[in-house]
Amino acid sequence: GAVVSQHPSRVICKSGTSVKIECRSLDFQATTMFWYRQFPKQSLMLMATSNEGSKATYEQGVEKDKFLINHASLTLSTLTVTSAHPEDSSFYICSAAMLSAQETQYFGPGTRLLVL
Amino acid sequence: SQKIEQNSEALNIQEGKTATLTCNYTNYSPAYLQWYRQDPGRGPVFLLLIRENEKEKRKERLKVTFDTTLKQSLFHITASQPADSATYLCVHSWGKLQFGAGTQVVVTP
């Protein structure tokens, strides 16, 4: 149980284009979903927290107009990187927490984004 | 500020031995700590959660301890196997999850 999927697993795009990443909780309802970014050999850094049906809460230094987050249902959250640039190239990972056990997050497999 | 520290050096260990990883925290007293495993190019996988009133917790070949006096958690992998090779993350929650940098474990046959 507690499976989280992400799609796509890998994406290469040209600078200036937008990229959408989907995060789904497959076998549970996730009241809260989180988006992280991880650069090589570094810790996961939280970008934003999203609750179903409400606006996401962004961490300091994360541009909300650049990283659009939508949490339309209890099983789906999307992250759109708008006008991507090479410095946005990173590993993006989502996670989901169950209502009954908010302490533990279940992570997706991650999406590798390369902006040329 | 609340801080979590793990040994940044990789731990090389022979198959069958016990790997022990350390997680130290400063400037606060977490109600619980969590340990995750992360393989290269993959998202973290939850392993164990230990609360401050629990001295020890086990799951198969994994054992976690929580010493609030030393402000430390130890993570043990007993009878280690090459498949245990990964980066292990100590995680605390201060409103949101805070990840340590992780310790890479390499188990050689």
Instruction: Tell me how close the Cα of A93 comes to any Cα of chain B, in angstroms.
Output: 6
Partner-chain contact B96 A46, CB within 8 Å? yes
Instruction: Tell me how close the Cα of B44 comes to any Cα of chain A, in angstroms.
Output: 6
Instruction: Tell me how close the Cα of B106 comes to any Cα of chain A, in angstroms.
Output: 16
The residue among B94 and A3 whose pLDDT is bigger is A3
Average pLDDT over residues B4-31: 89
- For B18, B33, B65, B76, B100, the CA distances from B53, given in Å and listed in that order, are 25, 11, 11, 19, 22
Average pLDDT over residues B2-30: 88
What is the model's pLDDT at position B1? 66
Residue in B29, B37, B28, B34 with CA at minimum distance from that of residue B48: B34
Rounded to an integer, what distance in angstroms lies between the CA atom of residue B16 and that of residue A90? Answer: 36
What type of residue is A83?
S
The residue among B83 and B95 whose pLDDT is bigger is B83
The segment with the largest mean pLDDT, out of A1-5, A43-47, A64-68, B25-29, is A64-68
What is the model's pLDDT at position B63? 97
**Structure tokens belonging to residue A16:** 């200036």
**Residue numbers of B between 34 and 53 with CB closer than 8 Å to A:** 34, 36, 41-46, 49
DSSP state of A42: S
Partner-chain contact B97 A93, CB within 8 Å? no
Q: Which residues of A touch B102 (CB under 8 A)?
A: 43
Average pLDDT over residues B17-40: 90
Instruction: Tell me how close the Cα of B5 comes to any Cα of chain A, in angstroms.
Output: 11
Per-residue pLDDT reduced to its tens digit, A20-62: 999 999 988 888 899 999 998 888 999 999 988 888 999 999 9
What is the model's pLDDT at position B19? 96
Q: Which residues of B touch A43 (CB under 8 A)?
A: 89, 99-102
Per-residue pLDDT reduced to its tens digit, B37-93: 999 999 999 999 999 899 899 999 999 999 988 989 999 999 999 999 999 999 987
Rounded to an integer, what distance in angstroms lies between the CA atom of residue A34 and that of residue B97? Answer: 10
Q: Which residues of B touch A101 (CB under 8 A)?
A: none
What is the model's pLDDT at position B44? 93
**β-bridge partners, A35:** A48, A94
Average pLDDT over residues A100-106: 79
What is the model's pLDDT at position B92? 83
Q: Which of B45, B98, B99, B104 is the best mutation test for A, with the most CBs of A within 10 A?
A: B99
Average pLDDT, chain B: 91
Residue in A19, A10, A34, A9 with CA at minimum distance from that of residue A85: A19
Rounded to an integer, what distance in angstroms lies between the CA atom of residue A81 and that of residue A39? Answer: 16
Name every residue in A having a CB less than 8 A away from some CB of B.
2, 4, 6, 34, 42-44, 46, 49, 91, 93-95, 103-110, 112
What is the model's pLDDT at position B13? 96
Q: Is the pLDDT of residue A12 over 90?
A: yes
Is the separation of the CB atoms in A38 and A93 below 8 Å?
Answer: yes
Rounded to an integer, what distance in angstroms lies between the CA atom of residue B34 and that of residue B32? Answer: 7
Residue A21 burial (10 A CB sphere; 0-12, 13-18, 19+): buried
Q: Which residues of B17-47 are buried (b: 16+ CB within 10 A; e: fewer)?
A: eebebebebeeeebebbbbbbbeeebbbebb
